[in-house]
Amino acid sequence: MKSSTQDKVKGTAKTIVGKVKETTGNVLGNPRLQIAGKAEQREGLAQKKIGQLKKSQGN
């Protein structure tokens, strides 16, 4: 699998895990889990963008 595709897949996975954490934090009333989930979602989005940039560069 190409590096760009790996970054996109990992980014998508992190985004999903982050959304689950955020939702769980909301349901449980746990602000730390909500924040951790939002942060993980941002990491995932950033990693997906890196994959897109790599793809546009031909990697």
Residue tagged 């941002």 (tokens): 42
58: helix, strand or coil: coil
The candidate with the shortest Cα–Cα distance to 11, out of 22, 57, 53, 27, is 53
| CB contact at 8 A, 38 and 19 | no
- How open is the CA angle 27-18-10, to the nearest 5 degrees? 155
3-state helix, strand and coil shares in percent for the chain, rounded to the nearest 5: 90, 0, 10
* pLDDT interval class at 2 (50, 70, 90): confident
* pLDDT interval class at 27 (50, 70, 90): very high
* pLDDT interval class at 59 (50, 70, 90): low
Q: What is the mean pLDDT of residues 9-30?
A: 97
**pLDDT of residue 17 exceeding 90:** yes
